[in-house]
Homo-oligomer: A and B are copies of this chain.
Amino acid sequence: MSIPKAEATPPVNGSLPRQRRTYSIGELARMFEVTPRTIRFYEQEGLLAPERRGQTRIYHEKDRVRLKLTLRGKRLGFSLAEIREVVEMYDAMPDGNARQLKRLLEILADKRNNMERQLEDIRLMQRELDDVELRAREVLERLDQY
């Protein structure tokens, strides 16, 4: 494959094209408030596989979305290994065999249970917070009386 000469790609562009196609690692990092190191680490762990132009990584929309999902998974307490497990199976889906697919469905059901428990945990935790806040406000009010 030959590389067509690219147009003014990276830096600040005069007209902000509605559909930016590629991102540098630094851009992605700023977007999601992580460090480039983190993004490289995720690649090393098999969560990303950006294109390369020479040595340099080039991220497309697909990669950006995957990073977004990864970070969301992390916020929900999934390990990178767990996330990779889903990601890999998702990639392998088109030609996946039945056993693999059923395994994927199992994993998904598992995650789903996890989500349900988290919802419950959040509800309970919110009530705890309400409670603590109420008490704190009461104490504060008594202090204000003097």
Contacts and interface: CB of A to CB of B under 8 A. Distances in A.
B93 A135 contact: yes
Contacts of A121: 72, 75-76
Interface residues of A, number: 40
Contacts of A51: none
Interface in A91-145: 93-94, 96-98, 101-102, 104-105, 108, 111-112, 115, 117-119, 121-122, 124-126, 128-129, 132-133, 135-137, 139-140, 143-144
30 contacts: A72-B125, A75-B77, A75-B117, A76-B77, A76-B121, A76-B122, A76-B125, A77-B77, A90-B132, A93-B136, A93-B139, A98-B144, A101-B136, A101-B139, A101-B140, A102-B140, A104-B136, A105-B136, A108-B129, A108-B136, A111-B125, A111-B129, A112-B126, A112-B129, A115-B122, A115-B126, A115-B129, A118-B118, A118-B122, A122-B122
